[in-house]
């Protein structure tokens, strides 16, 4: 993956999964974004994500450590950054990270701190505790894609961008990484009740907590399997919709998106 921000359709490859359907799905995502005045761009690494976060601290919390190269093993090979631009300026962001856990699970990686930190014993704050009481976390293993780092500029929140972001979360890891699971975490409460329908109501279960870290947060785990993501994409394309996901309404209720996502 290039470490320069390049146009999405010029950069994305279809390596795994039903390539023709995924290619059509990407065209749908790009065209619907264009109708809202947004063009997608993509690169490897999270340096640009960190830069945009610093520029928009008034509407965006500090990013969690799993996105920060100072704390975590993020490289151009295990990360993808997607940016939606309007008139050359960022208006929506998405960060995708690949984990490989053939002999471990999300629960083990989360609670050990390895999910976020290169060296948990050295980099975690004193008393910082990560708890994964979600039952699903113990079963999620193998190739796992994590989608987060979502932010949407205030004047673009009354559009369908969260739906399109979820479409990208569903499709990019599927075809580039052939992942077993795609996961995310949404802060439990009103935000999760708003976002889950927009995200297509993936599997969701509370119980992911961080105490004493960069912030205290109680999250709901979301996940989809490779087969579930594939079925959704094929279904949309086979029905000939001109939208990447037309089952859900607008996103006028979206407020500032916090971390982690």
Q: Residues 240-253: what's their mean pLDDT?
A: 48
In a domain, 1, yes or no: no
Between CA 94 and CA 42 the distance in angstroms is 9
Residue-level pLDDT at 138: 98
Residue-level pLDDT at 245: 59
In a domain, 261, yes or no: no
* Residue found under tokens 């087969």: 227
Domain that holds residue 206: 6-238
In a domain, 232, yes or no: yes
Between CA 130 and CA 217 the distance in angstroms is 10
In a domain, 244, yes or no: no
In a domain, 246, yes or no: no
Between CA 12 and CA 30 the distance in angstroms is 12
Residue-level pLDDT at 244: 57
In a domain, 15, yes or no: yes
The domain tally of the chain equals 1
Q: Which letter, b or e, does each residue of 46-79 get, where b requires 16 or more Cβ atoms within 10 Å of its Cβ?
A: bbbbbebbeeeeeebbebbbbbbeebbebeeebb
- Taking the whole predicted model, whether its pTM rises above 0.95 is answered as no
Share of the chain above pLDDT 70, in %: 92
In a domain, 247, yes or no: no
Between CA 223 and CA 202 the distance in angstroms is 6
Q: Residues 157-173: what's their mean pLDDT?
A: 90
In a domain, 248, yes or no: no
Q: Higher confidence at residue 201 or residue 152?
A: 152
pLDDT at 257 over 60: no
Q: Residues 240-248: what's their mean pLDDT?
A: 55
CATH of the domain at 220: 3.40.630.30
Residue-level pLDDT at 83: 98
For 88-113, how does the pLDDT look when each residue is reduced to its tens digit (9 = 90+)?
999 999 999 999 999 999 999 999 99
């Amino acid at each position: 993956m290039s470490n320069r921000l390049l146009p999405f359709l010029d950069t994305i490859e279809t390596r795994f999964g039903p390539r023709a359907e995924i290619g059509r799905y990407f065209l749908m995502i790009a065209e619907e974004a264009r109708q809202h005045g947004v063009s997608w761009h993509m690169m490897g690494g999270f340096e640009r994500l960190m830069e945009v976060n610093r520029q928009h601290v008034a509407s965006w919390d500090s990013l969690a450590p799993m996105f920060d190269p100072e704390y975590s093993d993020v490289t151009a090979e295990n990360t993808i950054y997607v940016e939606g631009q309007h008139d050359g300026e960022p208006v929506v962001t998405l960060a995708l990270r690949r984990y490989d856990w053939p002999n471990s699970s999300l629960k083990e990686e989360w609670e050990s701190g390895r999910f976020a930190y290169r060296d948990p014993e050295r980099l975690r704050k004193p008393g910082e505790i990560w708890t994964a009481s979600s039952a699903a976390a113990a079963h999620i293993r193998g190739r796992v894609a994590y989608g987060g780092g979502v932010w949407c500029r205030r004047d673009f929140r009354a559009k369908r961008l969260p739906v399109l972001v979820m479409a990208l979360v569903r499709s990019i890891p599927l075809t580039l990484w052939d992942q077993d699971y795609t996961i995310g975490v949404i802060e439990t409460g009103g935000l999760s009740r708003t976002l889950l329908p927009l995200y297509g109501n993936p599997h969701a279960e509370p119980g992911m907590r961080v105490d004493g870290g960069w912030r205290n947060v109680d999250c709901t785990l979301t996940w989809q399997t490779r087969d579930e993501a594939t079925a959704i994409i094929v279904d949309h394309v086979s029905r000939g919709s001109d939208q990447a996901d037309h089952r859900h309404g607008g996103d006028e209720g979206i407020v500032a998106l916090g971390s982690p996502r």
